[in-house]
Structure 1
Amino acid sequence: MDKANYQLMKDLTETEGLPGFEDRVYNLMKKEIVTHTEEIYSDNLGSIVGKIGNEEPKVLLAGHMDEVGFIVSSITKNGFLRFKPLGGWWGHVLLSQRVKILTKNKDLTGIVGSKPPHVLSGEERKKVLDIEKMFIDIGASSREEVESFGVAVGDAIATICPFEPLANEKMLLSRTWDNRAGCYIALKVLERLKGESLPNSLYSGATVQEEVGLRGAETLAKMIQPAIAFATDVGVAGDIPGMNQEDTSLELGKGPILSFMDRSMIPHRKLRDFVVETAKENNTPYQVDIMMGGGTDAGKFHISNIGIPTMVVSVPSRYIHSHVSVVHYDDLEHAIDLLCNVIKKLDRSTVEGLTGLS
């Protein structure tokens, strides 16, 4: 396995970047992008892309930098932190987990706690605990002591889980594959294509604030004004016990995901078919997903300006929107291969043929 790839994955997944607090990941993305191109563009919210190629049309490829997490909402008089979610969370995955409070001066470790089960009623034990009933313990005894540690209302709170290849080294554990997988893919596509003579201009990087409403996608698309766009993200793997195959049949190691429909977008059919044909031409494995329970940055890309044909190319992941997640190395590699092959074919006449319905 490529050690440089593993190191990049480790750096991306272990660097914190909550919605509205993406500066650490932004700086890492910028550091990586500048090794491939000096042409870097960033919007006023912090979405960032590197540009290679000098021909029309413009092609946009982006993951999103932000991860689900929390924000300190109040401090109790006894020194516990109350918190609100940044992005979607399910109460079952939170209790007794370690978290990191990102203060201005240093990071502090805390533990998500609640009233113990020994004192819950039978009915209470059957329910998913509301986040409003949880707290974070950082080892303080008063509000004053918490404040002396530098913690303030509005501080971001991140999950804790190191990057680690599992027993099968292609199975990769981290806390933030949603969506550092997309950031990784965007960087590797930029790296691979920088020496090519492209028939277009590729803008590749990542957006901010996807988890709270696809906000950076809207501003980035307005800034770049691409003719074609690709969002790269993760999808829900169904290859675990208890999953209904009618909900999702996606499996790790079976190839990247081509989204034919989600809550935020139906892809432009001409572009969809073009991507599928390219995958088949190059014997690139892929999986098809139709899922109404989520959306991606493509939801904003495709309705920007007068409409941008857009496609989502993702990888399946287990346990997203929790403290841990797992993806397969081969899926990442095949997603990079597919996007590179597609982008190399997007010249002016091809792109003109991928717009409209006639």
Structure 2
Amino acid sequence: MDQKKIELMKELTDVEGVPGFEDRIYNVMKTRISSFSEKIETDNLGSLVGKVGNGQKKVLLAGHLDEVGFIISHITKDGFLKFRALGGWWGHVMLSQRVKVLTKKGDLTGVIGSKAPHVLKPEERKKVLEIDKMFIDIGAGNREEAESFGVQVGDPVAAVCPFEVLPNEKILLARNWDNRAGCYVALRVMEELKGKSLPNTLYSGATVQEEVGLRGAETLAHTINPDIAFATDVGVATDTPGMGGEEGKLSLGDGPILGFLDRSMVPHRKLRDFVVETAKAKNIPYQLELMSGGATDGGKFHLAHQGVPTMVISVPSRYIHSHVSLVHFDDLENAVKLLVHVISSLDTSTVDHIKGLS
């Protein structure tokens, strides 16, 4: 595999960026975007995009910077840290996991405490512990010592899991492929299109605060006012034991996912068909997803101003919204390839046709 691409993945996934605290990943994205674009545009929340091309029509492509995490809500008199979730978590995947508390004095390692099985009552074994019953242990003896370490109420907390290439070198581990995968795709599309003659203007980058309500997507779409928009994210892989059903599997390595339905959006039919036809014409593998739960930035993109034809192009990922997640290298690269072909074909007449203006 291309070592430069692996280095980019590691750079994107090893830095923290929970909702509302995306500074570190913002700086990484800004530096990377600057190598492909002379102009960076931002909204007032922290979303950012680079600009490629000078065509009449504007195309927006964005992942989201933030990953699910936590925020400190209370320090107990004994020095334990209570917290609240930033984004969707399930208690089963949280206990006894390492976390990183990001304080003004520096980063602190902690663990989400749990009872040993020896002392669990039978009824406790049958329940998922609620988050408000959990705590983080940073080894402090009391509140004063915890505060001396730099901890304050309102500090962000990130999960811990370094990027790693697994023995099958195309399977990639990180805690936050949701959604550094989308950031990677947005950057790689810019890289592929830099210096080429585009029939439109591409604004490519990432939003903030997707995991807590698609907030940056709304402000970025109003800032850019695109003609066409693409959200790039991850989808839930269903190729592991206990997953999947009659509707078919979403499998690692079988291609990017085209979103045909989610809780926030039904994709624009003409744009959807254009993307499918392009994938078929270019022999790019793809998978289809119709999801009753969950939402993406596309849910806000398509409602901006008078409405924006929008499509979600994702990659399948296992175990998202936990301390670990897996994606397949080929899915990432095929998502890049598909978006490059689609965006390169969106000339003025095609965009007008999709929007119903011709």
Conservation of the 8 A alpha-carbon contact between 1:62 and 1:186: yes
CA distance in 2, matches of 1:248, 1:123: 36
How big is each residue's C-alpha offset from its partner over 1:43-101, in whole Å with a ceiling of 9 and x where there is no partner?
10000000011111000000000000000000000000000000000000001100000
1:133 aligns to 2:117 (yes or no): no
TM superposition shift of 1:119? 2.6
Distance in structure 2 (CA, Å) of the matches to 1:37 and 1:113: 45
1:239-250 → structure 2 map (5 Å cutoff): 239-246=239-246, 249-250=249-250
- How far apart are the structure 2 equivalents of 1:245 and 1:66? 30
Unaligned runs of 5+ in 2: none
Q: 2 CA distance for matches of 1:245 and 1:231? A: 26
Q: Which runs of 4+ in 1 moved over 4 A?
A: none
Residues 224-259 of structure 1: CA distance to partner in whole angstroms, max 9, x if unpaired?
000000000000001101113246610000000000
TM-score (norm 1): 0.98
TM-score, normalised with respect to structure 2:
0.98
Is the partner of 1:210 in helix, strand or coil? Answer: coil
Tell me, in whole angstroms, the C-alpha distance in 2 between the residues paired with 1:28 and 1:144.
Answer: 35
Equivalent in the alignment of 1:91: 91
Partner of 2:122: 122
Match of 1:233, SS?
Answer: strand
Q: Which residue of 2 aligns with 1:233?
A: 233
Using the TM superposition, give the Cα deviation of residue 352 of structure 1 relative to its aligned residue in structure 2, in angstroms: 0.4
Q: Is 1:197 matched up with 2:197?
A: yes
Partner of 1:19: 19
Q: Are the counterparts in 2 of residues 104 and 150 from structure 1 also a CA contact under 8 Å?
A: yes
Pick closer, same or farther for the CA change 1:134–1:220 going to 2, 3 Å: same
Deviations 1:290-310 (A, max 9, x none): 011111000000011000000
- % of aligned pairs identical? 70
Show the counterpart of 2:32.
Answer: 32
Aligned to 1:272: 272
Aligned to 1:10: 10
Q: Which residue of 2 aligns with 1:151?
A: 151
Using the TM superposition, give the Cα deviation of residue 105 of structure 1 relative to its aligned residue in structure 2, in angstroms. 1.9
1:187-245 CA-partner distances (Å, limit 9, x unpaired): 00001101210000000000000000000000000000000000000000011011132
Q: Which has the higher mean CA deviation after the structures are superposed, 4-13 or 115-124?
A: 115-124
| 1:163 partnered with 2:157 | no
What SS class does the counterpart of residue 353 from structure 1 fall into? helix
Q: Are the counterparts in 1 of residues 262 and 290 from structure 2 also a CA contact under 8 Å? A: yes
Query: Which has the higher mean CA deviation after the structures are superposed, 247-256 or 53-62?
Result: 247-256
In the other structure, the counterpart of 1:355 is 355
Cα separation, 1, equivalents of 2:119 and 2:326: 35
Within the alignment, does 1:329 sit opposite 2:322 as a pair? no
* Corresponding residue number in structure 1 for 2:287: 287
Letter paired with 1:352? D
Per-residue CA deviations over 1:89-124 (Å, capped at 9, x if unaligned) read 000000110000000120000010134333332111
Q: CA RMSD in A?
A: 1.1
Q: Is the 8 A contact 1:248 1:289 kept in 2?
A: no
| Alpha-carbon distance in structure 1 between the residues aligned to 2:42 and 2:105 | 26
Aligned pairs, how many?
A: 358
Extract unaligned runs of 5+ from structure 1. Answer: none
2:343 counterpart letter in structure 1: I
Moved more, 106-115 or 249-258: 106-115
